[in-house]
Amino acid sequence: MIPPRLRAQHLRVRSRGQGELIRMKTLLAFSFVTFLPGCSMVVLDPSGYIAAQEARLLVIATVLMLLIIVPVIALTLVFAWRYRASNTDAPYEPEWDHSIQLELVIWSAPLLIIIALGAITWIGTHTLNPYRPLDTRSAPTAVEPLDIQVVALDWKWLFIYPDEGIAVVNELAAPVDVPVHFSITSSSVMNSFFVPALAGQIYAMPTMETTLHAVINRPGEYEGFSANYSGAGFSGMRFKFFGMNDADFERWVQKAKASGQALGRDGYVRLERPSEGEPVRLYGTVAPGLFDAVVNRCVAPGSQCLHAVMAADARRAAAALNWRPDAAFVCTAADPVATASLPVAERK
């Protein structure tokens, strides 16, 4: 049997331990509340028209779903408390079967919300299609779009500006309120191009070209990164995206041109080699047709482009389908071998 003095001491130590635990939990919860406002909510407060519409769609869908989730959770707690075993004042109806009115409410409310979610999703999917050019609500129609070609490398990003004749590694810039047409591909494995402040993520796939139309509406410095795991250096595939006014963007282009660096096909082959932590590089000139060569896997000298291979395959297939026998192979009763060599449709 434990002596009373030791038992009292044990209870005091236990009480102090529980008090310390409660204080630690309170401090931890307070720290979360304190630091949460400092988190970046760029997805819900973006700076581009497309990303803003996607954020609006996300909020509307969440609110619609909460119209069901919140009442269900609240009613679950209410029913559990009201009809607890110790509450003898609650009505007790063991013979109760069903209620048509209650069934209508239970099934009609979720059905209406699902219909609303489906309509909003269908409209948003078509309106925010990344392949669809921007309309007058998002960018002035009189402004020519800026073409940017994006190549996901291991493990860095290459941005080619074909109209300006420059290329940049791990840095991206665009003028404010100017539509941007991104052409996106990858050099090796599948990747994902994502600037949360600008628009949703778009996959970059080898031998394929995906498209994104977007616009940045506020000047600033934004984060861009890869949103798809692609190997050892994946976590370092980050870049800065700058939204600039026209004058600043022109100075940025002239800075790249003044770098004196040229990105030819041999230089791209060297750049394509896997590497991590690559600094920003500026190229004042770019080899013509480099992006198309990357998509068709024919940057290296002597390699055959995929579109040429596919065109040759198509010609061979068309020739095989349109094949007709020569006069020397016209089937006769005396030559069953020739008859057997003909297609079924040609046999007589």
pLDDT tens digits for range 116-137? 999 999 998 888 999 998 886 6
Q: What is the C-alpha to C-alpha distance for residues 234 and 209, in angstroms, rounded to an integer?
A: 21
Calculate the average pLDDT of the chain.
84
Q: What is the pLDDT of residue 341?
A: 47
Q: What is the pLDDT of residue 38?
A: 43
Greater pLDDT, 159 or 13: 159
Give me the residue label for tokens 């509406």: 217
Q: Which two tokens stand for residue 332?
A: 């006769």
Give the three-class secondary structure for 312: helix
Q: What is the pLDDT of residue 11?
A: 44
- What is the sign, positive or negative, of the torsion defined by CA atoms of 229, 232, 233, 236? positive
Give me the residue label for tokens 């750049």: 271
For strand 191-194 and strand 202-204, is the pairing parallel, antiparallel, or unpaired?
antiparallel
Q: What is the pLDDT of residue 118?
A: 92
Q: What is the CA radius of gyration of the chain?
A: 33
Binning pLDDT at 50, 70 and 90, where does residue 324 land? Answer: low
For the domain spanning 146-295, the CATH number is 2.60.40.420
> Does residue 174 register a pLDDT over 60?
yes
Q: What is the pLDDT of residue 95?
A: 84
pLDDT tens digits for range 195-219? 999 999 999 999 999 999 999 999 9
Give me the residue label for tokens 């595939």: 237
Domain boundaries, the chain: 37-86+98-128, 146-295, 304-348
Q: Which CATH class is domain 37-86+98-128?
A: mainly alpha
Largest Cα separation within the chain, whole Å, is 121
Mean pLDDT of the 264-285 span? 94
Q: How many other CB atoms are found less than 10 A from the CB of residue 47?
A: 21
Q: In terms of residues, how long is the chain?
A: 348
* DSSP states of 297-338: T--STTPPPHHHHHHHHHHHHHHHHT----GGG---TT-HHH
pLDDT tens digits for range 282-296? 999 999 999 999 999
